[in-house]
């Protein structure tokens, strides 16, 4: 789950990470009042889940409250193109923040390294730009430190990290607690990414999070109901995706096509989507129900897909590994037998006991298929 900047900063502040004074606004009048309360001048930033907001014209540093309001009026309710997202995003919420006496801009991040199976601290003196660009143009200006979970982040780790990242020793006394607090915020919130860019060095030498980007592991949201609410309220999710979250279906993405897709396993979903497109259809969604095919989950997934009136046919593609195909078939039959499904439904089973499963499906009001390619062709032919 990706957090908006204002949400990420509120989370960081709970762990002692310094953040600027800011006010969330949704109207031009609110922006003007917020800027006045911050002294007149302010930074106005669109709240979207995409980087490169400055390049997209979604950030404005203004010296007066009137200028802040004028900028707000020029972008609120409109769509701006964001290169990182490769699409236009609607601007509905703005963050108005105090102007900071910026002396320097650094980069600080915590990311998950799947190779070492550890969180990695990344620090660079080249802040205010994409870290990928820094890695390409100034590879020697980036410090990295894989954190041993049994030891945590110690002062000598931070000294070595700062040396590699080009940070002077004179700043370490104030930088060290900032890094430690950020790392604790990541651990306690089950974050898979925390990025402070820029990490602002103020004129008095103190550090503050000029920006904040945090991603939370969806699989841990049951431990953080207060964070899960952010995802449900996100303007970046359409109403189908919000409904999926409400139902506890986390691996769902709305795509806007005409063929609903349900599979067990992300790779199988993507392969099925490819075959549907190759057969001439358009995937309506990405939906991975994970291992097994419990009747209640199948039913809830079907109900979700059927909410989309653009869906003209549904394809269920299940590969039985540990899960037996006949049990999967029983789950599908149980789920569909009590539903009024008015669009054709094609089911493909493979793997353990798939023949027994297909035999059961022949007696149901479903269209069986032996292969993924056959299933895709059948479902498109039924549109």
Sign of the dihedral defined by the CA atoms of residues 241, 90, 130, 110, in that order: negative
Choosing from 5, 97, 106, 107, the catalytic residue is 107
156: helix, strand or coil: helix
107 is catalytic: yes
Query: What is the SS3 assignment for 280?
Result: coil
Between the alpha carbon of residue 254 and those of residues 242, 308, 344, 361, the distances in Å are: 10, 9, 20, 28
DSSP for 221-246 reads GGG-HHHHHHHHH-TTS-HHHHHHHH
Measure the CA–CA gap between 185 and 190, rounded to whole angstroms: 8
Instruction: Specify the 3-state DSSP secondary structure of 61.
Output: strand
Are 259 and 314 spatial neighbours (Cβ–Cβ below 8 Å)? yes
Number of H helices, E strands in the chain: 13, 18
Whether 303 is catalytic: no
Give the SS3 label for residue 78: coil
Task: Please name the residue ranges forming H helices in 200-316.
Answer: 225-233, 239-246, 266-278, 295-306
Distances (CA, A) of 265 to 116, 139, 322: 24, 37, 13
Q: How far apart are the C-alpha atoms of 336 and 319, rounded to whole Å?
A: 19
CA distance 258 to 268: 19
Which of 5, 97, 195, 275 is the catalytic position?
Answer: 195
Instruction: Output DSSP code: residue 115.
Output: T
List residues with catalytic annotation: 107, 195
């Amino acid at each position: 789950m990706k957090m908006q900047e204002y949400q990420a900063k509120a989370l960081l502040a709970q762990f002692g990470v310094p953040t600027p004074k800011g006010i969330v606004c949704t109207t031009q009048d609110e922006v003007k009042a917020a800027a006045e309360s911050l002294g007149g001048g302010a930074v106005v930033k669109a709240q979207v889940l995409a980087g490169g907001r400055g390049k997209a014209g979604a950030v404005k540093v203004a010296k007066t409250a009137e200028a802040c309001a004028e900028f707000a009026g020029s972008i609120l309710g409109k769509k701006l193109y964001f290169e990182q997202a490769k699409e236009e995003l609607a601007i509905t919420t703005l963050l108005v923040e105090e102007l900071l006496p910026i002396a320097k801009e650094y980069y600080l991040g915590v990311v998950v390294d799947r190779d070492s199976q550890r969180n990695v601290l990344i620090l660079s003196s080249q802040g205010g730009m994409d870290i990928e660009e820094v890695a390409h143009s100034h590879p020697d200006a980036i410090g990295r430190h894989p954190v041993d979970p049994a030891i945590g982040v110690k002062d000598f780790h931070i000294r070595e990290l700062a040396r590699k990242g080009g940070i002077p020793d004179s700043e370490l006394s104030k930088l060290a607690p900032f890094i430690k607090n950020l790392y604790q915020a990541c651990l306690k919130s089950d974050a898979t990414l925390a990025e402070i860019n820029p990490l602002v060095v103020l004129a008095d030498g103190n550090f503050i999070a000029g920006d904040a980007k945090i991603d939370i592991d969806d699989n841990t949201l049951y431990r953080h109901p207060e964070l899960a609410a952010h995802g449900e309220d996100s303007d970046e999710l359409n109403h189908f995706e919000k409904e999926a979250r409400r139902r506890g279906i986390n691996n769902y993405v709305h795509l806007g096509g005409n063929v609903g897709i349900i599979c067990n396993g992300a790779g199988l979903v993507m392969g099925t989507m490819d075959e549907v497109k190759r057969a001439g259809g358009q995937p309506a969604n990405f939906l991975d129900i994970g291992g097994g095919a419990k009747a209640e989950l199948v039913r809830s997934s079907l109900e979700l897909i059927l909410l989309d009136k653009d869906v003209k046919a549904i394809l269920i593609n299940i590969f039985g590994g540990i899960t037996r195909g006949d049990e999967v078939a029983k789950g599908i039959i149980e789920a569909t037998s009590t539903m009024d499904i008015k669009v054709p439904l094609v089911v493909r089973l493979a793997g353990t006991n798939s023949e027994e499963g297909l035999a059961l499906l022949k007696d149901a009001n479903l269209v069986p298929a032996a292969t993924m390619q056959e299933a895709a062709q059948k479902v498109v032919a039924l549109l």
